[in-house]
Amino acid sequence: MNFGTASIANNGNTIVGIGSIKSIKTALIELGLKRPLICTDPGIAKIKLIDKLLQEIPKKTKYILFSNTPANPTEVAVKEATNIFKKYNCDGIICFGGGSSIDLGKATALCCTHAEPLEHYITQNDGAKKIGPVVPIIAIPTTAGTGSEVARACVIILENGKKRIIASPHLVPKTAILDPNLTLMLPPMLTAATGMDAISHCIEAILSPIINPSAEAIGMNGIEQALGQKALINAYADGSDISARMTMLIVSTQGAMAFSKGLGAVHAMSHACGKNQKLGLHHGTLNAVLLPTVLEYNEVNTKSKYERISSAIGLNAKTPLPQYFRDLNQSLELPPNLKSLGITKDMVQDLAHHASEDMTSITNPVKMNEEKYCELFAKALNE
């Protein structure tokens, strides 16, 4: 397969291809950015992956580096980044890293132009209507999972401890750069977890009862590429497989485009578990663990869609979709259940309450409530 730098149309400008990191120069010029704040995480700074970005930034560009993004971005970290942005009179944001760095950058861009606390802008508070233009954002993913680089949403742990979604067209990055070279250092475990994040986006978007044929088709193609064509398996088995890495970046983007149709109980439960800052659980890992349990529960209302998903993967009619994903998780050496991640029985009630309040729960194909989430968490605890 041949790859070149190409642009994918979305609300912003998405540049895809091997070596496309070099387009950062053009992006900075087009957006008129002379003093950007770079949002990344400690791990990327430690392994020097950030150098691949810094060496492409023009010498005249006086960037400021913020590398304190937590595993699950918090309002506290957003405030810290916002204060640095204002202190150094920055004029835009470059998000470089996984979904956490991109989400933190988006929330920081919001806080730089909006004075209210972040809770004011969450989806439950009709926040989209309150969000206006934000400072320009450039997003450069180093993982293939969240698709946040083309999405209008970010997920932040608020100061009250709740993990909430903030969404607005204004939060879509002006430019996204997808360079598979930046994902080559991703270890197998994170390749698997982030890949399952992208796949769960595609699946839950398809299963959402909202009618959006275009988004559903994009999600189905993502599943076919990641699982039917085995891009995830290949990237996991051989991290240097540039073709598989490129495909998974595109699948990640497709997942984010697809979930404009909505998500479901997997994400509601994952967000609930992810608010536990002591455990610091990876969002993609949680999605992978929860997916089989939720698929079993939702099957009553989604049989025809399950058949289409199974066909895209290439499964025979005798293989139940939930069991396929249990087997896939095992082959990717992902955890078997929530218990192995540190979730305990005494947490279930609180987790169920949080999940029932999560906006992604609204578009689950089976209507959910706190009692039903208690059942699902109890099952996922000891699968």
Residue at 198 is within a domain: yes
For residue 298, the model assigns a pLDDT of 97
Q: Is residue 107 part of a domain?
A: yes
Contact (Cβ atoms closer than 8 angstroms) between residue 71 and residue 42:
no
Q: How confident is the model at residue 118 (pLDDT cuts 50, 70, 90)?
A: very high
pLDDT value of residue 7: 52
Indicate the range of 4-13, 74-83, 273-282 predicted with least confidence. 4-13
Both 223 and 299 in a single domain? yes
> What are the pLDDT digits (tens) for 233-253?
999 999 999 999 999 999 999
Given this model, what pLDDT does residue 9 score?
A: 47
Q: Are residues 244 and 298 in the same domain?
A: yes
* Residues 18, 84 within the same domain: yes
Give the angle 292-369-212 at the CA atoms, nearest 5°: 65
Instruction: Answer yes or no: is 1 within a domain.
Output: no
What is the mean pLDDT of the segment spanning 178-191?
A: 97
For 87, the domain range is 6-182
By the 8 A CB rule, do 13 and 45 touch?
no
Claim to verify: residue 162 and residue 286 sit in the same structural domain? no
pLDDT at 301: 87
Burial of 228 (0-12, 13-18, 19+ CB in 10 A): middle
Terminal C-alpha separation, the chain: 39
- Cα–Cα distance between 151 and 262 in angstroms, integer? 12
Quickly state the pLDDT bin for 11 (edges 50, 70, 90): low
- Axis crossing angle, helix 321-331 with helix 303-313, rounded to the nearest 10: 40
CA distances from 212 to 67, 172, 203 (A): 38, 20, 14
Amino acid 3: pLDDT = 47
- Domain match, 221 and 177 both: no
Q: What is the pLDDT of residues 27-81, one digit of tens each?
A: 999 999 999 999 999 999 999 999 999 999 999 999 999 999 999 999 999 999 9
Q: Are residues 221 and 152 in the same domain?
A: no
Indicate whether 192 pLDDT > 80.
yes
Nearest to 378 by CA among 263, 269, 264, 267: 269
Give me the pLDDT at residue 116, please. Answer: 82
List pLDDT tens digits, range 289-335.
Answer: 999 999 999 998 899 999 999 999 999 988 999 999 999 999 999 99
Candidates 259, 231, 224; CA nearest to 246 is 231
Task: Give the whole-angstrom CA distance, residue 322 versus residue 266.
Answer: 13
Please tell me the distance from the alpha carbon of residue 32 to that of residue 29, in angstroms, as a whole number: 5
Statement to judge: residues 11 and 95 lie in one domain: yes
Contact 198, 231 (CB under 8 A): no
Residue 210 has a pLDDT of 96
Whether residue 115 lies inside any domain: the answer is yes
- Separation of alpha carbons 354 and 164, rounded Å: 10
CA 264 → CA 72, 121, 204, 227, distances in Å?
20, 21, 6, 20
Are residues 200 and 164 located together in one domain of the fold?
no
Number of domains comprising the chain: 2
Q: Has residue 129 got a pLDDT over 60?
A: yes
Q: What is the pLDDT of residue 290?
A: 99
Predicted confidence (pLDDT) at residue 4 exceeds the cutoff of 90: no
Q: What residues are paired with 36 via a beta bridge?
A: 92
Task: Kindly tell me if the per-residue pLDDT of 1 is higher than 50.
Answer: no
Examine the fold and report which residue of 182, 210, 243 is the final residue of a domain before the chain moves on. Answer: 182
Higher pLDDT, 305 or 124: 305
258 in the same domain as 273: yes
Strand, coil or helix: 382: coil
Out of 141, 165, 182, pick the residue that ends a domain. 182
Identify whether 133 is part of a domain.
Answer: yes
- Tell me if 90 is assigned to some domain: yes
Q: Give yes or no: residues 148 and 11 share one domain.
A: yes
With beta carbons less than 8 A apart as the criterion, state whether 195 and 220 touch: no
pLDDT of amino acid 351? 98
Domain ends where: 137, 152, 182? 182
Find the mean pLDDT for residues 266-274.
97
- Is the pLDDT score of 349 beyond 70? yes
Structural Rg of the chain based on CA atoms: 19
Q: The domain that contains 332 carries what CATH number?
A: 1.20.1090.10
**Residue 357: strand pairing partners:** none
Q: How far is CA 20 from CA 5, 16, 199, in A?
A: 6, 6, 24
DSSP per-residue string spanning 159-223: TTS-EEEEE-GGGS-SEEEE-GGGGTT--HHHHHHHHHHHHHHHHHHHHSSS--HHHHHHHHHHH
Is residue 157 assigned to a domain?
Answer: yes
* CA 119-354-114 angle, 5° bins: 10
Structure-token pair, residue 306: 């399950």
Q: Judge whether 127 and 121 are in contact, CB under 8 Å.
A: yes
CATH (domain of 93) = 3.40.50.1970
The DSSP output letter for 227 is I
3-state SS, residue 36: strand
What is the residue-wise DSSP string for 241-281?
Answer: -HHHHHHHHHHHHHHHHHGGG---HHHHHHHHHHT-TTTT-
Q: Are residues 242 and 366 in the same domain?
A: yes
Residues 198 and 281 in one domain: yes
Predicted TM-score of the model (pTM)? 0.95
Mean pLDDT across the chain, nearest whole number? 95
Cα–Cα distance for residue pair 218/214, rounded to 1 Å? 6
What local confidence, expressed as pLDDT, does residue 135 receive?
98
Identify whether 371 is part of a domain.
Answer: yes
